[in-house]
Structure 1
Amino acid sequence: MELRRRFGLLSVTVAAVPLVLVGCTADRLPGTRQANAAPPQLTVTPGDRSRDVPISAEVGTAVKGGKITSVRLTDDKGAQVPTERREDASSWVPTSPLQNSRTYTAEVTATGERGRTTTQKTTFTTMARSPKPTITSILNVTGNQTYGTALPIVVTFDPAIPKEARADVQRRLFVKTDPPQPGTWSWLDDGKQVEYRAPDFWKPGTKISVRTGLEGLPIGKDAVGDVDRSATAKVGRQVSLDIDNASKQMSVYQDGKLLRKVPVSLGKPSTPTSSGSMVIMEKFEYTTFDTRGDPMGGYVVDVEDAQRLTNGGEFIHAAPWSEGDQGNINVSHGCTNVSTANADWLMGITQVGDLVTVKGTEVTLDAGNGWTAWNVGWDEFAKGSALPVPAGLKPTVTATPHPGAVAGGSAPAPARSNSGG
């Protein structure tokens, strides 16, 4: 099992010897077959009397000739520790981190043919608090907010996760959706960010629960995870924005229907807007763009109704100074300029997590410059997983949909600062 391999712990296997009955086959009494049914063979990890077990430990189970019917984990004071079963039934995961330097007992029962059972107890002690430096992780969703249908779950790390440790980290990142919409995680090459999405957009009304169960997890040879984080979210209405550089127009869709076309001015040739599929990350009724650290020269300007699209500072925002250019010519520093009235209207329509697609500009969106999970097709996205992705996990729509496609269709493939422009 993976847990046994990761922690180098002993396992305990219990198997009963079947009863041997003397006599001729023809004389077999009723119930003999039940008596001869062998009980399940059960292996549990951490192994009995294991020490220095990480507080991220799970109760691992492997069974032959039956199935797990009971798992109970208690601490050294007799209090039960709640656990949840992994979908593949390979282990039971404590719903919160175990505590350092404590002893725990797991009691596991497996039931086999004709009700024969095997019960195994294992007691283990967790390690003292690790002196190794921690890797900090940040989750992009917060408590019970409502988001758009293109929201990817994003976890960022500082410092980056080494490639050889990504599978272990990914295995401790949990996402549940109601109704179920399974997906996968995908890593950026640099290991500083991992994103989760399903093959299709979330359905409106979907409830999402996320947990990054990384506290105390050994990460590579030289670090451990910092803390567990969890959040719940709800998916709101379907809204998407399609921005066309050729026409200098933004088409705003809700539930697949065109609501409005909005004239825009994008980035001028020296500071072009990125083309690609991005997601609204933040919304500000009022903010200040300060680019005085830019080597190309900077400025300070106050703006209203700004919606962030990239880490690098591309926003949709009110730009009353360029209203005469909107729909005609590009004059911005990379942002999407709209009128004051349209910016105010957009703020009432959009949500963090709504898809924004820009096409026809001089440059393309870089991976990781914002929440870029939808900037590639599903097959390319799934290649970034450090764990196997189920082969049957595919988009329900294989053709590139209309920009205003409702949730459930697939998306087209195509240094955080308030720089703006």
Structure 2
Amino acid sequence: MELRRRLNLLSVAIAATPLVLAACTADSKPDGRRAGEQAASLELLVTPADQARDVPISAEVGTAVKGGRVTAVRITDDKGNQVQAEPREDASAWVPSKPLQPRRTYTAEVTATTDAGKTVTQKTTFTTMPKSTKPAITSTLYFSNGRTYGTAMPVTVAFDPPVAKEARADVQRRLFVKTDPPQPGAWSWVADGSQVYYRAPDFWRPGTTISVRSALQGLPIGKGRVGDADRTATSKVGHQVALEIDNRTKQMSVLRDGKVIRKIPVSLGKSSTPTSSGKMVIMEKHEYTTFDTRGEPDGGYVVDVQDAQRLTWGGEFIHGAPWSVGDQGSRNVSHGCTNISASAANWLMGVTQVGDLVTVKGTEVTLDAGNGWTAWNVGWDEFVKGSALPVPAGLRPAPAQAPPPGTVVGASPAPVPSGTGG
């Protein structure tokens, strides 16, 4: 597969096949002149620096070339074993397919070649640091292997504690997404650094394969912490399914591939515990679960529910609620959830996928950023502002247009926390 040049690897969507780690070209010519003399205009810098010590196990082999291009890379450990690596799309570095080992010595040989066929080879040998004693930032990749997801599924990585603003670029640089067929996207951080999302400007095309690597193990994150693990997953995108919930009509429209296949009466959150309006994504599906809100504001109850689908971290679900069937379609009585009949909830579980878009409109409060996977709750122009790295040229928002004379620009009200379950 050719590298997609227009993508900026800093927002990481690797599309290259693993580089063939070929043997390096000899550094001398038959006439006795050194390669560097024959190719005086070819400059190659390789990192880490030769004889560097205490190198993080997340290290990459960086290459900076002037007057040519990298044509061969070979990385070996101190036992002579070859280390597999893949190039970043801009060829700025070769990323080992697995984290390096602590207290080990590695050698990288890199060859660059001019268009005229002249070559130069550089070698660097470096030693990794001992196993870190710094506390790890726990990362969670909300993208599992071998699943089928909805077309609105954002690749989500969550962090505990949140990542400080000054460390986000380093973390983002180690998050990789590849799509087949290619569908470029970008990363965007929630303001507090607790989550980062990856999505494309438009929904994923059904049938797309998405491969993800969260390569954070041993990565220095700020001054006092390191990344906890290296995780990978590959899954597919299924049919386009969307749910549209209108508080005015108290109806849910279920759409598959753009066509309404059923309308379901609903009862949303009552005025003291309103349902959030906004664009959410189905995060979890449970055939059976228990809501326990003891100790929470406006809570204090324990109830068993069936066929529950989570929409927010704050506890908003779509679920079967036989106790409110008489109110569904006419009156809001829940604690923030979307109540539907038991039969409708059972049917809906067989239609939806984790990653399907759910749009709620017309309620008293708006969805808070980060309360769930809220990557679609803003437009693309706003979404890419959350990237800690430059956004690829083809994905940047259009230049802002000056508002017409007399336009009054105001701010939206602050979101109000949603209810929890019910």
Q: Which runs of 5+ in 2 are unaligned?
A: 1-8, 11-26, 32-36, 399-414
Q: Could you say which residue in structure 2 is the equivalent of 1:198?
A: 200
Match of 2:45 among 43, 46, 56: 43
- Partners in 2 of 1:289 and 1:173 — Cα distance? 34
SS at the partner of 2:393? Answer: coil
Distance 1:210 1:220 in 2: 23
Q: How does 1:9-408 map to 2 (within 5 A)?
A: 38=40, 40-393=42-395
Task: Name the SS for the 1:383 alignment partner.
Answer: helix
Q: CA shift at 1:310, angstroms?
A: 0.3
Retained in 1: the 8 A contact 2:41–2:66?
no
Q: Distance in 1 between matches of 2:304 and 2:339?
A: 14
Q: TM-score, normalised by structure 2?
A: 0.85
TM-score, structure 1 normalization: 0.86
Offset at residue 395 of structure 1 (A): 8.9
1:420 corresponds to 2:413: no
CA contact (8 A) 1:238 1:354 kept: yes
Q: Could you say if the C-alpha distance between residues 191 and 302 of structure 1 is closer, same or farther in structure 2, counting changes exceeding 3 Å?
A: same
Q: Match of 2:371, SS?
A: coil
**Whole-Å separation in 1 of the counterparts to 2:168 and 2:361:** 33
Q: What is the CA RMSD across the aligned residues, in angstroms?
A: 2.4
* C-alpha deviation, 1:235, in angstroms: 0.5
> Does the CA contact (< 8 Å) of 1:240 and 1:356 recur in 2?
yes
Which whole-Å CA distance do the structure 2 matches of 1:44 and 1:391 have between them? 27
Q: Work out the CA distance in 2 between the residues paired with 1:297 and 1:42.
A: 64
Q: Does the CA-based 8 Å contact 2:335-2:420 persist in structure 1?
A: no
Task: State how far apart, in whole Å, the 2-side matches of 1:50 and 1:162 are.
Answer: 28
User: Quick check: 2:320–2:339 contact (8 Å CA) kept in 1?
Assistant: yes
Where 1:232 maps in the other structure, the secondary structure is strand
Separation in 1, partners of 2:155, 2:419: 22
Alpha-carbon separation, structure 1, partners of 2:177 and 2:241: 23
User: Which shows bigger deviation, 347-356 or 384-393?
Assistant: 384-393
% same residue? 74
Which protein has the larger Cα radius of gyration, Structure 1 or Structure 2?
Answer: 1
2:73 aligned counterpart, secondary structure: strand
AA matched with 2:421? G
- 336-345 or 290-299, which moves further after superposition? 290-299
Output the amino acid matched with 1:420. G
3-state SS of the aligned residue for 2:394?
coil
**CA positional deviation for 1:391:** 2.9
Using the alignment, how far apart are the partners of 1:36 and 1:375 within structure 2?
57
Residue 418 (structure 1) shift: 11
Q: CA deviation at 1:295?
A: 2.9
SS at match of 1:312: coil
Give the SS at the match of 2:139. Answer: strand
Shift of 1:293: 1.6
SS at match of 1:92: strand
How far does the alpha carbon of each residue in 1:173-200 deviate from its partner, in whole angstroms, 9 at most, with x for none? 1111111111111111111111111111
Corresponding residue SS for 2:376: helix
Count of aligned pairs: 375
Could you list the per-position Cα deviations for residues 202-257 of structure 1 after superposition, in whole angstroms to 9, with x for gaps in the alignment?
A: 00011111111111111111111111111111111100000000000101100011
DSSP-derived class of the 1:186 partner: strand
SS of 1:208 mapped into structure 2: strand
Once residues 279 and 89 of structure 1 are traced to their aligned partners in structure 2, the CA distance between those partners, rounded to angstroms, is: 35
1:9 is matched with: none
CA distance in 2 between partners of 1:107 and 1:382 (Å) = 37
Q: Indicate conservation of the 8 Å contact 1:288/1:418, yes or no.
A: no
What is the alpha-carbon distance in structure 2 between the residues aligned to residue 220 and residue 76 of structure 1? 30
Deviations along 1:137-172, whole A, 9 cap, x unmatched? 000011211100000011111111111111001000
SS at match of 1:114: coil
SS in 2 for 1:81: coil
CA distance in 1, matches of 2:198, 2:38: 49
Letter paired with 1:230: T
Structure-2 separation of matches of 1:338 and 1:327: 9
Amino acid at match of 2:49: G
Residues 37 and 96 of structure 1, relative CA distance in 2, 3 Å threshold: closer
